[in-house]
Amino acid sequence: MTDGPHRRRDSAAAGDFETGPLVGDRFFRHIVLGMRNGVLVVTRDRRLAMMNEVAYRILDITPGDADIGRPYADVLASQPDMIRILTAAFDLAHLPNRAELRLKPSGKVIGYTLSQIMDDEGGSEGAAVFFKDLTLVEQMEERERLRDRLASLGEMAATIAHEVKNPLAGIEVMAGLLRRRVADIPDAQALLNDIIGEAKTANAIVLEVLEFVRPIRLQVEQTSMAQVLHDAVTMAERKVDRGGVEVTMNIEPQLPLIKADPHQLGQLFSNLLINSLEALDGRGLIGLTAAVGRAYEEPAAGSDERAPGATLVVEVADDGPGVSPEAVERIFNPFFSTKPQGSGLGLAIVRKIVDAHDGHIDVETAPGQGTRFRVTLPVNSGEEWLR
């Protein structure tokens, strides 16, 4: 008959994990709960066996005292994609390793590894999924891809804009001279006024193209977001007739100063306001809100880790006609516009300024339900925020 110690040695030789007398179940449980990755463990009978704090946070689920032992489909009811992954663990011959998934409806991107938990006889006791929030990484990669595309596009656009700008200026000057010579011919005056007006419009588009392709060099200083928003309203009203549109502002008291370029931020928010004013066409409501937010970060296992970086969240919302889902996917693309006379560069410039500040912008809209732009900016510099 084989005694206990010999049995442990034989097991270790067979490849089993041997814990020894120094650690117990609580030790390993604390390891799992302290991980910076999300850990979710379920049993063969579809019940939740373990879920750490990071998993709750990534999945946007509020922890419950009675979660352990409940059917995992109930605990994860708001995350059908995660339920599908765990269910597949007991049916697939080859489980995914280092796969990626975009969660709905949050839009978060996670990277995950799925594995089965086997008993001593080689039977399946349960499944475990280890996952990490890759949303910030995904955004940074998309930002780099966008910058590469814009660099190529910018070189071409800058060349064309410079070539077009001088002839346009010549057309405007010559039409002005001709208009003075035919001052007594009303029909000619009307035609020349149209020519000058169209030349000015074309020249404004050229200047906007040049502004778009010009690299942004931030002049960073301690900036008051409240002041930026007030200035943005003034700038927007100089360019677009406000008409009967009501603009309301709800700025959280004592917002912290932000390390940013106030002039670039002024352009950012004035462009968003102009977009809303043009969509409303003189009737409706625009709401501006600004408040302190928090940048998501997984809880650290050690006490020396940095706390999540503070952010400011600014929203520009209108009750206008909204935008179709097809248009939303292209709304920040250069030269895409839903307006007949639009250049398609206003929102592209907005995205460029947000990226320069290491921020994030998203949009919520639907036909007939208005449009809401949400801009999230780090209070400190981007390097400090992402460090």
pTM value?
A: 0.53
The pair phi, psi for residue 330, each rounded to 5°, is: -115, 10
Report the pLDDT value the prediction gives residue 21, as an integer from 0 to 100.
53
- Give pLDDT tens digits for 177-190: 888 888 888 888 88
Element (H, E) at 173: helix 135-181
pLDDT of residue 355: 86
How far apart are the C-alpha atoms of 7 and 325, rounded to whole Å? 64
* DSSP assignments along 326-369, one per residue: HHHTTTTSTT--SSTT--S-HHHHHHHHHHHTT-EEEEEE-TTS
Closest CA to 40 of 29, 17, 56, 24: 56
Q: Which residues of the chain have pLDDT under 70?
A: 1-25, 28-29, 32-34, 93, 96, 139, 143, 146-147, 149-151, 153-154, 157, 212-213, 294-309, 335-344, 381-387
CATH of domain 221-386: 3.30.565.10
* Chain segment 32-45, per-residue pLDDT in tens: 666 778 888 899 88
Pick the CATH number of 34-133 from 3.30.300.30, 3.30.450.20, 3.30.413.10, 1.10.357.10: 3.30.450.20
pLDDT at 134 (0 to 100): 83
The one-letter code for the residue type at 156 is: M
Residue type, 220: V
Contact 371, 322 (CB under 8 A): yes
d(CA 73, CA 43): 12
Angstrom distances, CA of residue 28 to CA of 14, 33, 120, 124, 271: 22, 9, 18, 20, 54
